[in-house]
A and B are shown apart, each in its own frame.
Chain A
């Protein structure tokens, strides 16, 4: 079963617009991560947010975490065509040392 589920499944925007992706998860977590995957490539770690943090920034990325709602969001500001990729959230599975990925959000940024 999936630990993290992303929403929406697909998102299309124009360059310069902001993109928001959401993630819901099922169990308690110590942290949550977001990964990016370009077509046909491996995943790349973007950002990690800990359970005692509510918001975290990295460049044009902003991640929020609401542990009471078991949800997180990833905001990409001023998007670029190069941001076109799939984005996955990955909360660790409770009491295990593995990450379970959802189906991701496929972001398409048109120039």
Chain B
């Protein structure tokens, strides 16, 4: 059990560029969650998957954000045409179906949009 892995750890980009983050969950965890966190705030729910199916997407998430989980394994979160307001820590978490409430978080990807 190597834990939830997120890459890259840090990303600096210019406004208007596209960025993609990757999350590798704990093996055999069916559920995968994406959260966003800004300084001084708690994690904000973005979306989650059960296996390859995206079951819910936050209404706060604009159309510039898209997430995928092909084959129910790793997941990617893409942000198109980044804006300065997208600067945040993007956290991924995974959990099994049974006992799903105990989320295992990765260390996050810190995005800075200049």
A-binding residues in B (CB < 8 A): 4, 31, 33, 35, 40-45, 48, 50, 55-56, 89, 91, 93, 100-108, 110
Contact = CB atoms under 8 A, between A and B. Distances in A.
B101 A96 contact: no
B104 A45 contact: yes
A42 B106 contact: yes
Interface residues of A, number: 23
Given A42-B108, A43-B91, A101 B42 contact: yes
Contacts of A96: 56
Contacts of A44: 105
A96 B47 CA distance: 12
Interface in A45-86: 45, 48
A31 interface: yes
